[in-house]
Every structure is written in C-alpha cells, then in structure tokens.
Structure 1
Amino acid sequence: MLENPGAASARIYDYSLGGKDNYGPDRDAAMAALAMHRVARLLPRENRKFMRRAVRYLLDAGVRQFLDIGCGLPGKGNVHELAQRADPGARTVYVDNDPVAVVHYQALLHAVPTATAVHGDARRPADVLADPEVTALIDLDRPVGVLMIGMLDQITDADDPDGVVRTFRDAMAPGGHLVICDLASDRLTAADFAKHEKIVELLGFPVVFRPAARLAGFFDGLELVDPGLVPAPEWRPDRPYDPPSGWLMAGVGRKP
C-alpha cells in the first residue's frame, strides 16, 4: 500500500460515507469539494441508497448474479450481503481498477465462496468479461445484474463510454438488468461548472457530467423499469427522503 497516496475516487467516496479507509489527500479533496459545492455532501448517500434499492428490486425480479463495475471500497450493505440475504447461493463479482479497493474486498470475501473481487478496467470491458474469476462465478447465459453506480463519470468521451456500456449490455442474457446512477449536467449553472473545473484539477482524475438525455442513451435496447431515469432518491423510494440534489440521475433497464 502506498505511504503517501494521492486522492482516489474510491477513498474520497469512503470518507464521504463516514468510512475509515482513506488518507489525508482523500479527506482534503472531499472537504475542498464540499466547500465549493455544498450539494456534494448529498451525493454519496443518494448513490449508495439507490444501489441498495436497485439490488433489492433485481432480487425480487429473480436475478441471482451481480457484476459490480467500479465497486470502490466496501461499506455498509454491500451487494453480496444484500444478495445473500435473499439467496445464499447468489453470486457477486466486484470489479475495480483501484488495487487497494480490490484488496479490501478480497479480505472481506476470503470465506465467501459465492463472491470475489477482481482487478479490472471498465474501459476494457471484453477483458473484464473474459477474466477467469468472473467466468468462474458469473454465467452470462443466465440473467445478471450489471451495476454501474457512480463510475461512468470517470470514463471520458475519449474512452468511449457508450462502447463500454454496449459491451456489457450486449453480453447480458434476456432478463438481465443494467443499473446506472451517475452525474447529470442539466441543473448545473455556469458558476457550478467553473467550480467543477477547479475540483477536477485538485482531484487529478476526470469527473464528467453528462446531460440526462445522454445518460438515457446508455439504456438503448433495454426496457426502462418504472419510473424511468429520475433523480436518484426518486427511484422507487422505500422511505421518506430529503429533497434530491438533482445532480444524480438513476435508472434500471431490463433486457427483453
């Protein structure tokens, strides 16, 4: 593990959720983002709560395999834990390009034969799908839930996010589901974008906002589950919630 690592998205997210697996640069970056955008404090919890609701929905729909792309660090209510409460045989593979996140998940899962974590880059989706550890647990001939929660914003247009999503989408069998929650640009002002540029410079890695219409395009060929692509807290809420930040859009699509 690095002695003085730079800020990393997984660890910033961990800090924002009250976790302990982060370093000074991560905390500094998170606090700087919060100082510039007070709404930013809502995003990690909107993101995480949506993930849990979406996984429960997929379980109710009969999905028993989950591929969590860009999983980040473990937290409370991880995908495999939610899945195995519904079915002890449910299978989960976590994928991340941050080796620290993968090591943390591997330590958590050392005694869990139905779940694992692999080091992989979402920008090379064919490599992820062909990884021996992925194919050992995930049967792509059966429905799978592909989770892309807060990760497409780190794939720039130069790295072809549409192609990335399409590869995973095309690999799904009928009955599979694609779950996306990501940053939308529709409600950002010119001042917001100016602040965002400063934050990206501080972070040292891309954070891309896209119009909601562009995010909707990731679901091409799928049946959008009601209520469609909406602010994350408004997707099938199961309890009262604070007013949405409006920065995160979320949706689930089913392959017919």
Structure 2
Amino acid sequence: MTHVLAQRKYRFAAVLAIATARTFGLALVAAFIVLAVASAAIRAVQGGDSEMAYGVIQAIPVAMIAIGWLRLARAYPAAITNGMTRKEFLTGFALFGAATVLATAALTQLAVLALDLSPFQAEGVHVGFYGLTPLESAVIPILYFAVGTATGAVMLRFANRWVGAAVCAVLVSAVFYRQLAYYAAMNLFGLQSGGEDGTVFQYPMVDLYALLPYLDLVVALAFALFAWALLARAPMRPKQA
C-alpha cells in the first residue's frame, strides 16, 4: 500500500501528460502539418514566400498558458477529491510540467528542422524571432507554462472571481510586456543594448536578446514559486459540480 501511494504522483503526472498530448499536442501538430502543406500549395500556384506554419510555433506561448491554466483548474479539485495531499499534487503537477516543456521543445526543434529542410526557407521569419534555438525552445514553454499555472492558482486561491481575473490579467500582461521592464532595469543600472562602441557609461555592452532566455528563466522561477505558494494554501474543498 505504501508503494502504491508513493507512485500516485507519478501516475497523476502521466495521466495529465497523456491527456495533454492527445488534445493540445495533436492539435498543434495537425495544425502545423496542414498549414505547411497549404503554404507549399499556395507557393506552387501563386509563388511568393508565404509560410503559415510558423504561426503554430509563434502560438506556443498562448498554448502553454492554456495548458497550465486548464490542467491545473481541472486537476486540483479532482485530485483533492481522490485524497491526494498538497505535496503529492504539487510534485505530480511539476513533473507533468517538465514533461510538457520537454515535449514542446522537441516538437519545436522538429518543426524548425522540417521547415529548414523544405525547398523554401523563410529567412525573414528566423531573424529576430525569439524561440527557435534549442535553449529558447525550452525556455519559452517553461515561462508560459509557469504563467498559466500561476493564473490557474490565482483562480483557485481567491473565491472572488473578479479579483482573480484582475490578478490574472496583470500576470499575463506582465509576461507579454516583460521586455519593457528589462529595458527599464538596464537603463536604471546604466546598461543599454545595441551600443556599437562596446561600452555604455563605462559598463560592458549588454545585448538584451542574448540575456533574454536567462532573464526569462528567472521570471519563470518567480511565477512557479508564486503558484506553489498559492496552491499550498488553496482551499482543499473540491469545486461544486
């Protein structure tokens, strides 16, 4: 019995991962394939350089927020009803998040490889788009899954839905506009990106885009800890049917 209970969090993570793969995963892969084929057909008939499949890669942040939010909102009441402890739930959900991030990063790299091997390569899309390198393709889902989990935790923690919705809007807006905060912090400390002389105010030049994955990891950790703290004190009662 003790062994069965010890394995419960792993089974819980596996169930969530399989359900997500069958829904969000299949939907994203199918959309990518359909758009890639449609783009190839359009280019063959009309010419041009259209590649709509990149839209699926660029939609990953929204998808990760939805996954984190919806899975948490549905799983928490069900898990509590079935007798899971907070610690078991949080550990299992963290494992599910790790599996989701790794799968998303792998699929992103496969998608980029498939498009790079195609006769048409959308060079303009690669330039300046954050999320296509191996490191970035992992950081992006980490960040946005953490945000989605945090917003789901907010809705579970606060009884007033309007208050919860307002806090969620602030969290999502903060992550989408986080680069403005990064620039403000750099200016505050006398650091700016893009200088051609190698120094700005006698500080080493800082390239924000080179630092972006690491800054985003710090932000993701903050969101994850915030969600963990909220769920550790969230009501244990299940939602009413």
TM over 0.5, shorter chain: no
Which structure has the larger Rg over C-alpha atoms?
2
TM-score (normalizing by structure 1): 0.23
Higher normalized strand content (fraction of residues): 1
- Where is the helix percentage greater, Structure 1 or Structure 2? 2
TM-score of the superposed pair, with normalisation by structure 2: 0.24
* Larger relative contact order (Cα-Cα within 8 Å, sequence gap ≥ 6): 2
